[in-house]
C-alpha cells in the first residue's frame, strides 16, 4: 500500500453563496444610504420636523414622537453606509438577517420621516398606520396559513386566491338576505346572520379545497395547474353571479360588518392597546388560528404524521399512516382557513362584494407562506410585512408626497418578488411538495 499523502484540511470560512449574498446585501445598503443622503437629506437645511402620533385622538394617553427630519435622515444615511461597508468587507455571519431587518427598518423610518416633514400636514398617525398594518395583514396571513396547511402535506395550493374570492362572495350573499339590514340578535357585535355568512364562506373554502384535493390527489393533475384553474373558475363564476344576481338586487349585496371589540384592560395599554387589542373577530381569529395551527402541527400526533406525509410520504405510508386521507384532510382544513379569510373582505371590512376584490391577495399570501418558511408563525410575520407595505402606501397617499399613487400601489407586489427572489435567504420547502403520491 502506498499511503496517500495527508493534505491539510481545506478551510472554507465563507461559502460562495454567502459571499454572493453578502455582496448583494452590501450593495443594497449602500444604495439605500445614497438614497437617504442624496434624496432625503439634501433638503436637510430647511426640512423641519416631523411628528408620528402614537395615540388616537380619542385616547390621548401616549405622547407624540417629534424629531428633526434633517438629523434623522443624516444619521440613518451614515449608519446604512457603515452597514454596507461592513457587509461588503466581511459580512455579519449569522446576524445577516437581523442586520437586514434593522437596515430596512431604519430606511423606512427615515423615509417616512422625510415624507412627513415634506408634506404640508407634517404629522401622521403612527398608531393608525400600525393598526392598518394588522388589519391588512389578516387576509394575507390567513391565505398563507391555508398554504401552510396544504403544503405541509405536500399539496401545492395556488388556489388560495380563488378560495378567498369564493369565501368573500358566498359570505355576503348568504349573510345579506339573512340579516336584511338590521337584526336585533347580536353576538359579539354582529347579527347571527353574519355568523352564518362566515360559516358559509368557510364551507365554500372547504368545497373548493376539496376540488383541489380530488383533482390533485386522486386524478394526479398537475397541482399548480389545478390551482390556477380553480382561481380562474372562481373569478369567472363570482363575476358571472355578481352580474346575474347582485347587479339588480342590491339587497343581496349588503352584508353586516363585524365590529371591533376592545379587549378589556389590554386595549387600554398605550399604543399597543389600540394597535393589537381593538379589532374584529377576523383579526383575533387569525391570531388564534396561528397559535392553534402551530400547536397542531408541531406538538400533536396528527401534526407529526402530517409533516411526515409532506416530507416523505412513502415512509409515512410504510408505517401505516394513510397518506391520501392526511392530504385530503389538511388541504380541506386549509380551505376552511382561506374561506374564513375570504369572508374578511366582505363581512370584516366593506360589507359588499365587488368583482375580483381580492386583487391578488391570495397570491401574496402564497409568497408570505414561502417567506414564512412554511410555518404558521412565519406566515403571520410575513403577512405583517406585506400588511405594512400596504399600510405604508396608503399613508404615503394621504401625505401627498408627489410619488404617483400607482407606484405606491406596486409596493406590495415588488416586495413579493423580492421575497421570493430570496432577499432573506432560502428556506427548504417540504421535501415532497408538489409531488403526487402514487401507490401500486
Contacts (CB under 8 A) with other proteins, residues 128-157: 156
Q: Which one among 340, 363, 386, 388 touches other proteins, defined by CB under 8 A?
A: 363
User: Residue 94 or residue 301: which is nearer to other proteins going by CB?
Assistant: 301
Q: Which of residues 378-417 bind other proteins (CB under 8 A)?
A: 404, 406-407, 409-410, 413-414, 416-417
Minimum CB separation of residue 178 from other proteins in Å reads 14
Min CB(17)–other proteins separation in Å: 6
**Helices 281-299 & 323-345, crossing angle to 10 degrees?**
160
Q: Which is nearer to other proteins, 269 or 410 (CB)?
A: 410
- Let me know how long the chain is: 440
Spell out the alpha helix ranges (H) of 152-259. 160-179, 192-213, 223-241
Kindly state the smallest distance separating residue 86's Cβ from other proteins, in Å: 22
Among 367, 384, 396, 399, binds other proteins (CB under 8 A): 367
Residue 296: how many other CB atoms lie within 10 Å:
17
The piece of 102-110, 181-189, 200-208, 356-364 that touches other proteins (CB under 8 A) is: 356-364
Residues 433, 436, 437, 440, Cα dihedral to 10°: -160
- The cell numbers describing 256, all together, are 353586516
Task: List the one residue from 36, 366, 389, 399 that touches other proteins (CB under 8 A).
Answer: 366
Q: Alpha carbon of 352 to those of 65, 251, 345, 377, 379: distances in Å?
A: 37, 10, 8, 30, 27
Residue 311 is a binding residue for other proteins (CB under 8 A): yes
Residue 236 found at the interface with other proteins (CB under 8 A): yes
Q: How far is the CB of 312 from other proteins (least distance, A)?
A: 5
Tell me how far the alpha carbon of residue 188 is from its chain's centroid: 26
Confirm or reject binding of residue 186 to other proteins (CB under 8 A): no
All three cell numbers of 138: 389578516
Alpha-carbon gap, residue 321 to 332, rounded angstroms: 18
Nearer to other proteins, 235 or 260 (CB): 235
Sole binder of other proteins in the list 300, 397, 398, 400 (CB under 8 A): 300
Fill in the per-residue mask, 8 to 27: x = in contact with other proteins (CB under 8 A), - = not in contact: xxx-x--xxxx---------
Stretch that binds other proteins, among 91-99, 123-131, 133-141, 216-224 (CB under 8 A): 216-224
Residue 269 backbone phi and psi in degrees, to 5: -60, 135
- Max CA-CA distance within the chain? 93
d(CA 259, CA 336): 22
Choose between 41 and 156: whose C-beta lies nearer to other proteins. Answer: 156
Which of 49, 68, 96, 235 is close enough to bind other proteins by CB under 8 A? 235
Whether 262 and 278 have beta carbons less than 8 Å apart is answered as yes
Amino acid at each position: 500500500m502506498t499511503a496517500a499523502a495527508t493534505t491539510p484540511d481545506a478551510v472554507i470560512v465563507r461559502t460562495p453563496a454567502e459571499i454572493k449574498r453578502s455582496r448583494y446585501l452590501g450593495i443594497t445598503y449602500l444604495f439605500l444610504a445614497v438614497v437617504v443622503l442624496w434624496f432625503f437629506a439634501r433638503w436637510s437645511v430647511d426640512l423641519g420636523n416631523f411628528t408620528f402620533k402614537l395615540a388616537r385622538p380619542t385616547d390621548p394617553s401616549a405622547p407624540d414622537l417629534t424629531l428633526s427630519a434633517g438629523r434623522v435622515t443624516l444619521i440613518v444615511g451614515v449608519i446604512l453606509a457603515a452597514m454596507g461597508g461592513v457587509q461588503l468587507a466581511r459580512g455579519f455571519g449569522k446576524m445577516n438577517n437581523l442586520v437586514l431587518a434593522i437596515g430596512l427598518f431604519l430606511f423606512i423610518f427615515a423615509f417616512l420621516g422625510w415624507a412627513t416633514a415634506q408634506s404640508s400636514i407634517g404629522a401622521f398617525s403612527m398608531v393608525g398606520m400600525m393598526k392598518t398594518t394588522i388589519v391588512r395583514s389578516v387576509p394575507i396571513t390567513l391565505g398563507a396559513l391555508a398554504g401552510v396547511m396544504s403544503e405541509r402535506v405536500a399539496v401545492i395550493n395556488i388556489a388560495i386566491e380563488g378560495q378567498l374570492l369564493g369565501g368573500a362572495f358566498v359570505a355576503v350573499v348568504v349573510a345579506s338576505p339573512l340579516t336584511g339590514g338590521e337584526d336585533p340578535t347580536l353576538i359579539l357585535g354582529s347579527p347571527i346572520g353574519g355568523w352564518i355568512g362566515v360559516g358559509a364562506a368557510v364551507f365554500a373554502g372547504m368545497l373548493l379545497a376539496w376540488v383541489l384535493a380530488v383533482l390533485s390527489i386522486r386524478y394526479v393533475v398537475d397541482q399548480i395547474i389545478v390551482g390556477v384553474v380553480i382561481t380562474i373558475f372562481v373569478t369567472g363564476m363570482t363575476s358571472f353571479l355578481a352580474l346575474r344576481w347582485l347587479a339588480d338586487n342590491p339587497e343581496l349585496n349588503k352584508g353586516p360588518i363585524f365590529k371591533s371589540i376592545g379587549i378589556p384592560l389590554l386595549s387600554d395599554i398605550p399604543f399597543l392597546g389600540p394597535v393589537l387589542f381593538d379589532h374584529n373577530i377576523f383579526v383575533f381569529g387569525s391570531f388564534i388560528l396561528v397559535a392553534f395551527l402551530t400547536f397542531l402541527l408541531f406538538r400533536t400526533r396528527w401534526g407529526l404524521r402530517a409533516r411526515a406525509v409532506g416530507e416523505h410520504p412513502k415512509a409515512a405510508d410504510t408505517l401505516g399512516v394513510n397518506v391520501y386521507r392526511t392530504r385530503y384532510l389538511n388541504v380541506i382544513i386549509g380551505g376552511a382557513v382561506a374561506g374564513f379569510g375570504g369572508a374578511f373582505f366582505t363581512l370584516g371590512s366593506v360589507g359588499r362584494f365587488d368583482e375580483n376584490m381580492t386583487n391578488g391577495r391570495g397570491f401574496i399570501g402564497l409568497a408570505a407562506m414561502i417567506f414564512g418558511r412554511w410555518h404558521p408563525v412565519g406566515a403571520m410575520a410575513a403577512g405583517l410585512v406585506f400588511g405594512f407595505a400596504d399600510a405604508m402606501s396608503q399613508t404615503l397617499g394621504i401625505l401627498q408626497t408627489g410619488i404617483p399613487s400607482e407606484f405606491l400601489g406596486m409596493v406590495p407586489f415588488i416586495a413579493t418578488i423580492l421575497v421570493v427572489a430570496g432577499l432573506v435567504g432560502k428556506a427548504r420547502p417540504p421535501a415532497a411538495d408538489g409531488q403526487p403520491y402514487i401507490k401500486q
